[in-house]
Amino acid sequence: MSGKIHQTMGQQSGRRSWAEPWKIKMVEPLRMTQHEDRQKALADAGYNTFLLRSDDVYIDLLTDSGTSAMSDRQWAGMMLGDEAYAGSRNFYRLEEAIQKYYGYRYLVPTHQGRGAEHLISQAAIRKGQFVPGNMYFTTTRLHQELAGGIFVDVIVDEAHDPADLSPFKGNVDLAKLEQLIRDQGAANIAYVSLATTVNMAGGQPVSMANVKALRELCDRHGIKLFLDATRLVENAWFIQEREPGYAGRSIAEIALEFCSYSDGAWSSAKKDSLVNIGGWLAVNDWTLFEELRNLVVVYEGLHTYGGLAGRDMEAMAIGIVESMQDEHVRSRIGQVRYLAELLDDWRIPMVRPVGGHAIFLDARAFYPHLSQDEFPAQTLAAELYLDSGIRSMERGVVSAGRDPKTGGHHYPKLELTRLTIPRRVYTQAHMDVVAESVKAVYEARTSARGLKMVYEPRYLRFFQARFEPLA
Ligand code: PLI
């Protein structure tokens, strides 16, 4: 699985390919399907890729969450699970890994990322307070709103433009944040919520200069800064690649420095940390930790397991170490870029620069004849599945949900379909098949008719909404 990218992956001259720093020890057969099978499966699923059975999927690019392949060391670690109710040795191993690689003092494990989001939102938001963040994420914003907070997007404008080539499109616009503080008063800001590589913007990174400046701004106003560290490792890679002064620093060093500017973080370990389940919350302040430790026993489990088995914590501790190795991140992002280069050859519209975990196809550019009320990104995900059995997901108006005040749709500028690459799972040949299917769907773009929503759940509607094709 060598890559054709060499210049962009740091080689100086001549063709020197990169390859994954692992080999395959166990395989899982894939089922290929026929067009008629897929037509039926898609209709049964209400044209929502989340409602497909995975047995009906060929290449699964729904998400990189919990879908990565664990290493032999992680599987061996699973056998070392200490399933004691309290004080499992695996908790202490995980605590050590968090302290070493993320630098925070106190750890609260949770069953996954949204468990951690729930706890931090309940502990740190008072009803009516504002929560500025660098673009919303679905579960993050929902937990902030359920705790009575009001999310305010303070990301740089470039993030909303899929064609803008700025290197750090995940940055906070400090002027927007200052304005919010001036308008509402620092006491009415719960905390700043900073995502590392911004998922909904296309996996765009935050620069070290930006988080440093943010720290200073927060200190001036006495405001806390918490990270969503779910894809911090990928963010560190972009800093190493793009930010002056960081080319010679390791991913682990960069990640640790990044965290040092924050008061704490939460994470879905199902992404960067290479596990199928798990999450955490870690802070430096003892009083806040006490409150979180109080809440975790109500909603997740005892503070030394947080809804996880001992074996899950062991796999996570090992996954954290593996995720911070430069060669791992290089091949992970290299594979995403390999796919991007193939798509580029055919001028497929997508978010640029390409982010760390996925290709985000620009569904507006695919289907300029469809309005956002006809769900272009949902349509594109359906068309891709019909063409080849590849599963992607919508990241547009359906994911954005409704404004809790007005009840109307949020209409995000970005209307995207995400091809998310699980870590250490698919080969370069799979990427070739994906690219060819995207090309076929792009070539048939003028015949796409759009969808109407016929069932809408109350929360996080993109997971369970149902659609029908427009006549
Ligand atoms: O899916 P969870 O509950 O482990 O994590 C929630 C979550 C929090 N932050 C960020 C940036 C995420 O991307 C995230 C989950 N993302 C999913 C499931 C995804 O498909 O992107």
344 with 336: CB under 8 angstroms? no
State phi, psi for 148 to the nearest 5 degrees. Answer: 95, 5
143-157: average pLDDT? 98
Q: What are phi and psi of 464, to 5 degrees?
A: -125, 0
> What region, left, alpha or beta, does residue 466 occupy, with left being phi > 0 and alpha being psi -120 to 50 degrees?
beta
The two tokens of residue 409 are: 């749709």
Q: Which atom of ligand 1 is least distant from the CA of 195?
A: 11
Ligand 1 geometric centre to CA of 65 (Å) = 7
Q: Whole-angstrom Cα distance, residue 111 to residue 251?
A: 26
Phi-psi region of 245 (alpha: psi -120 to 50; beta: other; left: phi over 0): left
Active site residue 138: yes
Segment 36-57 shows an average pLDDT of 98
Asked if 33 is an active-site residue, the reply is no
| Dist. CA 62 → ligand 1 center (Å) | 12
The CA distances from residue 70 to 31, 97, 190, 191, 223, in Å, are 22, 17, 37, 34, 38
Q: Which atom of ligand 1 is nearest to the CA of 63?
A: 20
Alpha carbon distance 448, 155 (integer Å): 32
Query: What is the location of CATH 3.90.1150.10 in the chain?
Result: 3-60+326-469
pLDDT of residue 232: 98
How buried is 241 (Cβ within 10 angstroms: 0-12 exposed, 13-18 middle, 19+ buried)?
middle
Q: Active site residue: 38, 271, 311, 330, which one?
A: 271
Query: 93: closest CA among 413, 317, 263, 254?
Result: 317
Q: How far is CA 122 from the centre of its chain?
A: 22
* pLDDT at residue 6 is higher than 70: no
Pick the CATH number of 72-323 from 3.10.105.10, 3.40.640.10, 3.40.50.150, 3.30.750.24: 3.40.640.10
Nearest atom in ligand 1 to the alpha carbon of residue 115 is 3
Residue 14 binned pLDDT confidence (cut-offs 50, 70, 90): confident
- Give nearest CA residue, ligand 1 atom 5: 113
Q: What residues contact 287, with CB distance under 8 A and at least 6 apart?
A: none
Is 228 catalytic? The answer is yes
Question: What's the pLDDT score for residue 5?
Answer: 46
Distance of CA 230 to the CA centre of its chain: 7
- Please tell me the distance between residue 355's alpha carbon and the centre of ligand 1 in angstroms: 16
Cβ neighbour number for residue 245 with a 10 Å cutoff: 9
Say how many Å lie between the CA of residue 203 and the centre of ligand 1. 12
Query: Is the CB of 113 inside a 6 Å radius of any atom of ligand 1?
Result: yes
Catalytic residue among 56, 60, 173, 228: 228
pLDDT band at 13 (very low <50, low <70, confident <90, very high): low
From the CA atom positions of the chain, what is the Rg in Å?
21
Q: Tell me, in angstroms, the distance from the centre of ligand 1 to residue 63's CA.
A: 9
Q: How confident is the model at residue 16 (pLDDT cuts 50, 70, 90)?
A: confident
391 is catalytic: no
Average pLDDT over residues 382-411: 96
Q: How high is the mean pLDDT of the chain?
A: 96
Indicate if the pLDDT at residue 279 is higher than 90: yes
CA-nearest residue for atom 2, ligand 1, is: 113
Q: What is the mean pLDDT of residues 126-131?
A: 98
A 10 A CB-CB count for 25 gives 9
Known catalytic residue: 271?
Answer: yes
* Ligand 1 neighbour 230 (Cβ under 6 A): yes
Q: Is 109 in the pocket of ligand 1 (CB under 6 A)?
A: no
Are 168 and 204 in contact by the 8 Å Cβ rule? The answer is yes
In CATH, what class is 3-60+326-469? alpha beta
CA 204 – CA 353 distance, rounded (Å): 8
Has residue 4 got a pLDDT over 80? no
- This prediction has a pTM of 0.95
- How far from each other are the two terminal CA atoms of the chain, in whole angstroms? 43
The answer, yes or no, to whether residue 135 has pLDDT greater than 90, is yes
What lies within 8 Å, CB to CB, of 186 at 6+ separation is 221, 222, 223
Answer for the pair 191, 219: CB distance below 8 angstroms, yes or no.
no
pLDDT tens-place string over residues 232-276: 999 999 999 999 999 999 999 999 999 999 999 999 999 999 999
Cβ of 279 less than 6 Å from ligand 1:
yes
Location of each CATH 3.40.640.10 domain in the chain: 72-323
What would the pLDDT profile of 366-381 be if each residue is shown by its tens digit?
999 999 999 999 999 9
Q: Which residue of the set 169, 332, 395, 461 is catalytic?
A: 395
Share of the chain above pLDDT 70, in %: 97
Q: Average pLDDT, stretch 323-352?
A: 97
Give residue 173's Cα distance to chain centre.
21
Quick one: average pLDDT of 128-139? 96
- pLDDT tens per residue across span 311-333: 999 999 999 999 999 999 999 99
What's the confidence (pLDDT) of residue 3?
A: 46
Distance 144 CA to ligand 1 centre (A): 14
Q: What is the pLDDT of residues 198-224, one digit of tens each?
A: 999 999 999 999 999 999 999 999 999
- 3-state secondary structure string across the chain: CCCCCCHHHCCCCCCCCCCCCCCCCCCCCCCCCCHHHHHHHHHHCCCCHHHCCHHHCCCECCCCCCCCCCCHHHHHHHCCCCCCCCCCHHHHHHHHHHHHHCCCCEEEEECCHHHHHHHHHHHHCCCCCEEEECCCCHHHHHHHHHCCCEEEECECHHHHCCCCCCCCCCCECHHHHHHHHHHHCHHHECCEEEECCEHHHCCECCCHHHHHHHHHHHHHHCCCEEEECCCHHHHHHHHHHHCCCCCCCCHHHHHHHHHHCCCEEEEECCCCCCCCCCEEEEECCHHHHHHHHHHHHHHCCCCCCCCCCHHHHHHHHHHHHHHCCHHHHHHHHHHHHHHHHHHHHCCCCECCCCCCCEEEEEHHHHCCCCCHHHCHHHHHHHHHHHHHCCECEEECHHHHCECCCCCCECCCCCCEEEEECCCCCCCHHHHHHHHHHHHHHHHCHHHCCCEEEEECCCCCHHHCCEEEECC
pLDDT above 50 (res 68): yes
What is the C-alpha to C-alpha distance for residues 127 and 146, in angstroms, rounded to an integer? 9
The dihedrals phi and psi of 124, each to the nearest 5 degrees, come to: -115, 0
In a 13 Å sphere around the CA of 102, the CA atoms on its Cβ side amount to 35
CB of 114 closer than 6 angstroms to any ligand 1 atom: yes
